[in-house]
Structure formats: structure tokens, C-alpha cells
Amino acid sequence: MDSIDRAIISQLRRNCRQSNIELAEAVGLTPSPCLRRVKRLEDEGIITGYHASIAPAAVDRGFEVLVEIELKDQSPASTKKFEAELIAHDEVIEARRMFGSPDFRLLVATKDLAAYEAFVTNKLLTLPGLGNLQSHFPMLTIKSDPPRASGRPRS
């Protein structure tokens, strides 16, 4: 990957809905070589997809909570079963298995505090092998990656 590939990636991260002509102009290429580079970056698995950034509150996911989980049993079979059941819940928008403690860090999004309490009580606490759960309520998100999309819908 060279500096032009990195510039293409940077531009697409800011706005993946820009046209190839706009992208080419922004990175100093003509459209054909720019499109070939984008296609190569996709084929090589460097660009893995394009996404819409949705306002969480618009889809009843405006209340975000960081959750730390420790398992009672960390055997491979128990961990695999726990992970499969955990990621089946739409409220879990990000899940990471960690080295050390805690075993998992999650980002959970619900409509509000009452919906979060119901999710924890009725779903998370029923997961197999759960040992300890701690919730952390963010005061303010000051940076999020990927950045919020600045693209506008095409007409």
C-alpha cells in the first residue's frame, strides 16, 4: 500500500458515498486509475465493506452502555457457547474477548435505562457461564471510529 492507497482509504472513511470522480480528484488521480485502485483494495480485503452510519436514537438505540463480563468457566466449549448466545442479541453492537480481566467488553445499545435493565435482567444474566457483570454508563462520547458519515444521500 502506498500513499495514494492510504489517501483513498482516508477519503472513503470520511465519506464512502462520494463518486469515483470526486474521490479521484481528492487523491490526485484521474477516474480510471482511481477506480482500479479501489477495486484492488476491495479484492485484497483491505476495504471490507461500505456502511451507513445511523443515528442511534432514530432506531431506539440511543442509550449506550459499556459492559464488562467475567465468566465462571473459561473452558473453550463454555466460552464458545457463551459467545454464540451473546452475539445473537441485537442490543450487543460490539463484543470483544479480552486477554486478562474482564473476559469480555461489550457495547450495548438500548432505547433507555428501563430497556437496558430489562435486557440485562432477561437476557444477559441468563447467559451460560456468566460470572460477573459490570455496567459503565458513558457521560459523553468524544470520539468514535469510524467517524460519523458526512455523506449525503444521492438523488
pLDDT digit of tens for each residue in the chain (155 aa)?
A: 999 999 999 999 999 999 999 999 999 999 999 999 999 999 999 999 998 888 889 999 999 999 999 999 999 999 999 999 999 999 999 999 999 999 999 999 999 999 999 999 999 999 999 999 999 999 988 888 755 444 433 33
Q: 56-136: which CATH number, 3.40.50.1370, 3.30.70.920, 3.60.21.10, 3.30.360.10?
A: 3.30.70.920
Enumerate the β-bridge partners of residue 108.
65, 92
pLDDT at site 91? 97
Show me where the domains of the chain are located: 3-44, 56-136
Which runs of consecutive H residues, i.e. helices, occur in 15-124?
A: 20-27, 31-43, 76-87, 113-122
- Cβ atoms of 94 and 141 within 8 Å: the answer is no
CATH fold, domain 3-44, is Arc Repressor Mutant, subunit A (1.10.10)
Q: What share of the chain is helix, strand, coil (3-state, %, to 5)?
A: 40, 20, 40
